Amino acid sequence: MVALRVGLVADPAAPTEVARRLADLTSGDEDQTWDITVVSKPFTTGSEDVWAAADRLRDDRREREWDLVVGLTELPLHDPDGGHVLVESDPEERVAVLSLPALGPVRRNARARRAVHTLVSGMADHDAHREGRVRLPQAGGSWRLLLGMVLANRPWLLVPGLKSALVAALATGAVATINSTVWLLAGSLSWWRLVVATVASIALVVVWLIVDAELWDRPDSDSTRSRQRSRLYNASTVLTLVTGVTLCYVALYVVNLAWALFILDPAIMGDYLQAGYSYPDLFVLSWFVASAATVGGGLGSGLESDEAVRAAAYSKREEDRRNRLQRDQRDG
């Protein structure tokens, strides 16, 4: 029986977690076993060139005496024509790089398992692995990559990441809930105005975060590829922030509603304002208050450090990339 020494080199954080789940992969061939070693290291840091990353993997393969190596990264890969790529590989050197965002946001672990199994099986047999690049389908490929990048950015971490913003929003909501003017305003708004208020409040906070923390990516050159890369990164930033702020909005609504149901009696407020309020009106009140509190909390996010916002909005690799670009700009 032949034992194939396989190296799985993964960028820190999410790629490493995925790689560790793949340590139990088997060949499915009675005549061959896979001895898989997982190594966590930032093998793509400092370079947007996939072949520079592949060179580092090639050095690791020779140093550690692996038969083949697969790198897992959150780096989006592109071919010279600008198309999105799932895999770049060098069958002769038995080196491959797999872009996890290109797998999409759904069933990423299962797709990664199938992709790595196919790569290892193919590189183990030179004749079976002739294609060095696997392109994404043009229809839907861009969206799959973009949503995969958003998943890698972990937008849910914005909720604990913007602590001061949430404190400011909760304080704003607590005060607004017992304000008679807010009751009158909430009762006078139609449902479509409430929807507009929700969208506007989330959009204002997203714009504020991008401007305040300088999250907008600018092309490092006038080339088409550089501009396309910046558009992709900016789109993932916007979608990540929109998702994270929306989660914060929903959390604020739930907290405000619970607070209103616990402390308020609509009948008493109705007698004071000479209006007929009931408990269903608390749901509308909490909706309006959540919009106002989201804006107030977004302004409070200025109390957070830029590093805290970036850590909450980006994957580990993207955070390192942007920090490196900022250092280069300061040094330049």
CATH number at residue 117: 3.40.390.10
Q: Are residues 226 and 313 in the same domain?
A: yes
Q: Does residue 200 fall inside a structural domain? A: yes
CA distances from 42 to 14, 140, 280 (A): 12, 29, 53
Q: Tell me if residue 117 falls in helix, strand or coil.
A: helix
266-309 pLDDT per residue, tens:
877 777 777 777 888 889 999 999 998 888 776 665 556 666 67
| Of the residues 141, 168, 193, the one at which a domain ends | 141
* pLDDT given at position 61: 93
Q: Does residue 148 fall inside a structural domain? A: no
Q: Are residues 198 and 294 in the same domain?
A: yes
Q: Are residues 112 and 171 in the same domain?
A: no
72-114 pLDDT per residue, tens:
998 888 776 667 788 888 888 899 999 999 998 888 899 999 9
- Quick one: average pLDDT of 207-235? 81
* pLDDT given at position 129: 45
Residue 52 in contact with residue 105, Cβ under 8 Å? no
The count of domains in the chain is 2
Q: Are residues 204 and 102 in the same domain?
A: no
CA 239 vs. chain centroid, Å, equals 8
Residue burial 245-271, b: 16+ Cβ < 10 Å; e: rest: bbebbeebbebbbebbeeebebeebbe
Q: Are residues 104 and 58 in the same domain?
A: yes
CB-count exposure of residue 92 (10 Å: 0-12, 13-18, 19+): exposed
Mean of the per-residue pLDDT values for the chain? Answer: 82
Among 120-129, 189-198, 217-226, the minimum mean pLDDT is found in 120-129
70 beta partners:
8, 96
176-215 pLDDT per residue, tens:
888 888 888 888 888 899 999 999 999 998 998 888 878 8
Give the E-state strand segments of 136-220 in sequence order: none
Q: Are residues 183 and 214 in the same domain?
A: yes
- Quick one: average pLDDT of 107-130? 81
As a whole number of angstroms, the distance between CA 187 and CA 104 comes to 43
Q: Are residues 179 and 302 in the same domain?
A: yes
* pLDDT given at position 197: 93
- Quick one: average pLDDT of 245-264? 89
| Of the residues 97, 120, 141, the one at which a domain ends | 141
| Secondary structure (DSSP) of 143-160 | HHHHHHHHHHT-GGGHHH
Residue 54: CB partners within 8 Å, gap ≥ 6? 71, 88, 90, 93, 95, 97
CA distances from 26 to 31, 72, 218, 274 (A): 11, 18, 44, 73
Q: Does residue 262 fall inside a structural domain? A: yes
Domain that residue 34 falls in = 2-141
As a whole number of angstroms, the distance between CA 85 and CA 141 comes to 9
Q: Are residues 116 and 162 in the same domain?
A: no
| Of the residues 118, 141, 164, the one at which a domain ends | 141
- pLDDT > 90? residue 20: yes
Among 47-61, 135-149, 309-323, the minimum mean pLDDT is found in 309-323
* pLDDT given at position 53: 84
Q: Are residues 159 and 130 in the same domain?
A: no
Q: Tell me if residue 72 falls in helix, strand or coil.
A: strand
